[in-house]
Amino acid sequence: QVQLVESGGGLVQAGGSLRLSCAGSGSVFGFNTMGWYRQAAGKQRELVAVVTSGGTTDYADSVKGRFTISRDNAKRTVYLQMNSLKPEDTAVYYCNADLHGIPYWGQGTQVTVSS
């Protein structure tokens, strides 16, 4: 059974940094595209950043220049380095990974940025 386990969320002051990790397991195959989404209270889930198995990245405009996504294919892990955090970054962050066209989701990790 494929599982994605996130870690690294928490409470941080505006301007601070956090690093999220998401480790995948349960498959002998590597994941294709991996990414991070977030959902703030009362809002729809939105894309934050994605990275392909080849390392190509894409970001939401709201996080460009502040967040960096990366992955370690050997460890089947994707990371999200978040710098210069703003209160509007407060949300539950979800890891997503594609395996043979099937999307998998992590359980989510809360990120709270205080002003």
Confidence (pLDDT) at 27 = 75
Confidence (pLDDT) at 28 = 65
Confidence (pLDDT) at 26 = 81
Confidence (pLDDT) at 25 = 86
Q: Report pLDDT digits (tens) over 9-33.
A: 999 999 999 999 999 988 767 889 9
Confidence (pLDDT) at 52 = 93
- The sign of the CA dihedral 22, 27, 31, 35 is negative
C-alpha 49, offset from chain centre: 7
The kind and range of the H/E element at 2 are none
Q: Report pLDDT digits (tens) over 59-95.
A: 999 999 999 999 998 899 999 999 999 999 999 999 9
